């Protein structure tokens, strides 16, 4: 069956009376929502511990610096202003800069305070922003990205 639409009147000719979203799909989506709510409720009521948290480990190395990114270029400077790293195409590092900028906007921080890069004994690498409390686990995004951040600790 053909249909056409008159653009001026939005009159649908020969429109079939059919469901746009299948009933079974709607039922499955409702079941997924209810099961999710039941699991969360159970977790809260029984006071289950957080199991998705990284394991605690000793701090091996730590470095505080000023991290600046414009969404593409990345510049890392010491607290005294000495440049220690600069690149035009920061890739993943610029994505971290965007996330950091977003958090600082949410917390109404207008300047660029320093961040801290931490390396733990279990291999975790974490960047933290003391001004907002934001942190990101950097080892979860591949070895190439981890190596770039580790190079900042080694300098």
Range of the domain at 149: 59-154
Confidence of residue 4 (pLDDT cuts 50, 70, 90): low
Tokens of 155: 């300098």
What gap in Å lies between CA 153 and CA 64, rounded to an integer? 9
pLDDT of residue 142: 82
| 87 falls within a domain | yes
34 and 69 together in one domain: no
Report which of residues 87 and 54 the model is more confident about: 87
Give how many domains the chain has, as a whole number: 2
User: 89 and 144 share a domain?
Assistant: yes
Burial (0-12, 13-18, 19+ Cβ within 10 Å), 112: middle
In this predicted structure, what is the pLDDT of residue 99? 92
Task: Give the CA-trace dihedral at 101, 88, 91, 150, to 10 degrees.
Answer: -90
Q: Do residues 29 and 95 both lie within one domain?
A: no
Q: Are residues 114 and 82 in the same domain?
A: yes
**Residue bearing the bigger pLDDT, 90 or 112:** 112
Same-domain check for residues 65 and 109:
yes
pLDDT number for residue 145: 84
């Amino acid at each position: 069956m053909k249909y056409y639409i008159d653009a001026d009147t939005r009159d649908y000719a020969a429109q079939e009376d059919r469901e746009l979203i299948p009933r079974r799909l709607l039922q499955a989506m409702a079941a997924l929502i209810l099961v999710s709510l039941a699991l969360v409720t159970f977790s809260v009521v029984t006071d289950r511990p957080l199991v998705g948290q990284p394991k605690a480990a000793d701090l091996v190395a730590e470095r505080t610096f000023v991290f600046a990114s414009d969404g593409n270029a990345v510049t890392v400077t010491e607290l005294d202003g000495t440049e220690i790293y600069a690149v035009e195409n920061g890739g993943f590092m610029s994505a971290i800069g965007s996330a950091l900028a977003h958090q600082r906007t949410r917390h109404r921080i207008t300047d660029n305070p320093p961040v801290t890069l931490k390396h733990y004994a279990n291999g975790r690498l974490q960047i933290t922003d003391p001004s907002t409390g934001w942190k990101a686990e950097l080892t979860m995004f591949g070895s190439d990205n981890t190596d770039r951040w580790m190079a900042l600790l080694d300098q």
